[in-house]
Amino acid sequence: MVGLVLVSHSRNLAESLIALIQQVSSQDIPIASAAGVGADHEEFGTDAFEIAEAIQSVYSDDGVLVLMDLGSAVLSAEMAMEFLPQEMQSNINIRFCAAPLVEGAISAGVQIGLGSDLPTVCREAQQALGPKIEQLAGSEELATDERPPAQTEEPETAPKTADTAKQKLIVTINNRYGLHARPAARFVQTALAFDADIQVSKLASEAEAPPDGQPHVVSGPISVTSLNSLIMLGVMQGDRIIVTAQGQEARQALDALNRLIAENFGEAAPALADVSAESPAPVEEESRSADANMPLSEGIAIGPGVYYEHAPLEIPDHDIDDPQQEWQRLQHALTQTKHAIEQRKQQMQAQAGSSNAALFDAYLLTLGDSALLDDVRTQIFEQSLNAAAAWQKGIQNLVASYQTLSDAYLRQRATDVRDVGNEVLTALLGDRPTAAFTCAEPSVLITQELTPTFIAQLDPAQVCGIITRQGSPTDHSSILARALGIPVLLVPSCEIPPNTRIAIDGFTGQIWIDPSSQILDKLQQRQTVWTRHRTQLLAVSHEPAVTTDGQRVKIAANAGSVVDAKLAIQHGAEAIGVLRTEFLYLTRNTPPSETEQVEILTHIGEIMGDRPVYVRTLDVGGDKTISYLDLPEEHNPFLGMRSIRLSLRTPKIFQAQLRAILRAGVTSDLRVMFPMISTVDDIIQALHCLEEAHRALKQDGIPHRWPLHTAMMVETPAAALLTSAFVPYVDYFSIGTNDLIQYTFAAERGNPHLLDYHDGLHPAILHLIHHVVEVAHQHGKQVGVCGELAGESRAVPILAGMGVDELSLNPGTIPQVKAIIRTLEFASTVHLAQQARQTTRASEARCLADTFFNALNLPAPLTMRTS
Looking at the annotation, which residues are catalytic? 476, 786
Burial class (CB in 10 A: 0-12, 13-18, 19+), 143: exposed
Cα 840 from chain centroid?
A: 32
Per residue, the 3-state secondary structure of 602-648, as one string, reads HHHHHHHCCCCEEEECCCCECCECCHHHCCCCCCCHHHCCCCHHHHH
Amino acid (one-letter) located at 645: R
39 CB-near residues (< 8 Å, 6+ apart): none
Instruction: For residue 274, give the DSSP letter.
Output: G
**Bond into 221 cis (ω within 30):** yes
Per residue, the 3-state secondary structure of 302-337, as one string, reads EEEEEECCCCCCCCCCCECCCHHHHHHHHHHHHHHH
Distance (Å, whole) CA 61 – CA 64: 9
317 CB-near residues (< 8 Å, 6+ apart): 389
- Would you list the DSSP string of 582-594? GGGTSSSSSPPPH
Which H or E run includes 580? strand 576-580
Task: Using the CB atoms, write b or e for 662-695: b if 16+ within 10 Å.
Answer: bbbbeebbbbbbbbbbbeeebbebbbebbeebbe
Distance (Å, whole) CA 691 – CA 253: 52
Q: Count the neighbouring beta carbons within 10 Å of the beta carbon of residue 485.
A: 18
Distance (Å, whole) CA 88 – CA 83: 10
Which H or E run includes 733? strand 732-735
846 CB-near residues (< 8 Å, 6+ apart): 759, 761, 794
557 CB-near residues (< 8 Å, 6+ apart): 564, 565, 567, 568, 571, 573, 575, 576, 577, 808, 809, 810, 811, 814
Nearest alpha carbon to residue 602 among 709, 703, 711: 703
**Bond into 707 cis (ω within 30):** yes
Distance (Å, whole) CA 240 – CA 202: 6
β partners of residue 621: 624
